[in-house]
Structure 1
Amino acid sequence: MQNDHQEELARRAADGDTRALDDLLTAIRPDVLRRCARFLPCWQDAEEACQDVLLQVARTIGRFEGRSRFSTWLHVVTANSCRQTYRSLKRRAAEEAHDIPPVDLPDPRTTSVIAGSRLDLLDALEQLEARKAELVGPMVLRDICQLDYREIAAQLGIPEGTVKSRIHQARGHVREYLMQGS
């Protein structure tokens, strides 16, 4: 029922109803923040990505045509924003590394295994994107956003068999990258 309400708000917001847009942004914020926290291990980074998602939804809702469900469109926007936030944070960290003396590596006994594995996954996705960008989207939508194959195919405009093939290939590449790191 909640999703139907959000779908209706999204349609009205796409048609220019600013009240519906405000209500939509308020309604989706908790779910967007939770999804961002799945990607990014640091809460402040997840909040930054969430704000970026909400801003992007507000700016681009007029382009939402309703060909797919709003929730599917939102998953794509969220995944892309989280990956962009991660790349930005990584770039900033590299730039700052030139300005400050090197620090010791984190102690693995006090570093969250979950946080470390998320960063490894984001690094693996970044490596895969550089080599085979077409494989990243389907894998992120399936394995992180948990969309079904039909929704992914509709969102990306490709056949369901192609979606399955790309996910299989992406998982193989990511597995290979993660095995090299261990």
Structure 2
Amino acid sequence: MALDETTEELARVAARGDHRALGELLKRIEPDVLRHCGRILPYRQDAEEACQDTLLAVARNIGRFEGRARFTTWLHIVTANCARTTYRSLKRRSAEQSSDELPLQRPDVARVSVIAGSRLDLLDAMEALEADKPDLAQALVLRDICQLDYSEVAEQLGIPLGTAKSRIHQARKYVQSALGDAYGF
């Protein structure tokens, strides 16, 4: 998300309790949040749901933004977490659907679109990583989804640079192994 310094200042003002600044901030970040959610979730409706969840999370939690890191870094994390939560929720709803209900109106993306199917497989691998090794998942999300550089990941997680690099490497190997199992490599 390439937001400008005005956005950073709006975030600082909103974090101090200015409701007008918060409203302006939410309007300003919405297109970028939607675009970011769309990179994670293959269906526009799902991306829109995750976007709304993200905006709500920002509104509820802006007071926790301390300004130590850039607002965009904080927003990346909130956005990625909301998109992954939306995905888990959709997956759970789909699994809970009984056999006598009408099937979902969506086609099976794994069969329809290689890109969408791969993205869902990646989300499954990330979900497994987070359940098994949450520290690795955090580092991977910051580096590969939020596209922070290694030093920003280390700073955000409060760990040495070498540890951040190691966690990212281990997380990539974990995800690669999970995807290899899914695709028979």
Q: TM-score, normalised by structure 2?
A: 0.91
Tell me how far apart the structure 2 counterparts of residues 89 and 77 of structure 1 sit (CA, whole Å): 18
Partner of 2:71: 70
Runs of 4+ in 1 over 3 A off after TM superposition: 97-103, 105-108
- Structure 1 residue 127 and structure 2 residue 128: aligned? yes
Q: Secondary structure at the match of 2:159?
A: coil
**Residue correspondences, number:** 180
Partner of 1:96: 97
Tell me how far apart the structure 2 counterparts of residues 35 and 115 of structure 1 sit (CA, whole Å): 15
- Structure 1 residue 27 and structure 2 residue 46: aligned? no
- Tell me the percent identity: 64
Partner of 1:80: 81
Q: Is the 8 A contact 2:3 2:72 kept in 1?
A: no
Q: Is the 8 A contact 2:10 2:22 kept in 1?
A: yes
The 10-residue stretch of structure 1 (152-161 or 172-181) with the greater mean CA deviation from structure 2:
152-161
Return the offset for 1:48. 0.3
Cα deviation per residue 1:113-154 (whole Å; 9 max; x = unaligned)? 111111010000111112111111111111111111121112
Partner of 1:16: 17
Tell me how far apart the structure 2 counterparts of residues 117 and 128 of structure 1 sit (CA, whole Å): 16
Tell me how far apart the structure 1 counterparts of residues 136 and 152 of structure 2 sit (CA, whole Å): 16
Tell me how far apart the structure 2 counterparts of residues 107 and 38 of structure 1 sit (CA, whole Å): 15
Task: Give unpaired runs (5+ residues) of structure 1.
Answer: none
Tell me how far apart the structure 1 counterparts of residues 13 and 108 of structure 2 sit (CA, whole Å): 48
Greater RCO, 1 or 2 (C-alpha within 8 Å, sep 6+): 1
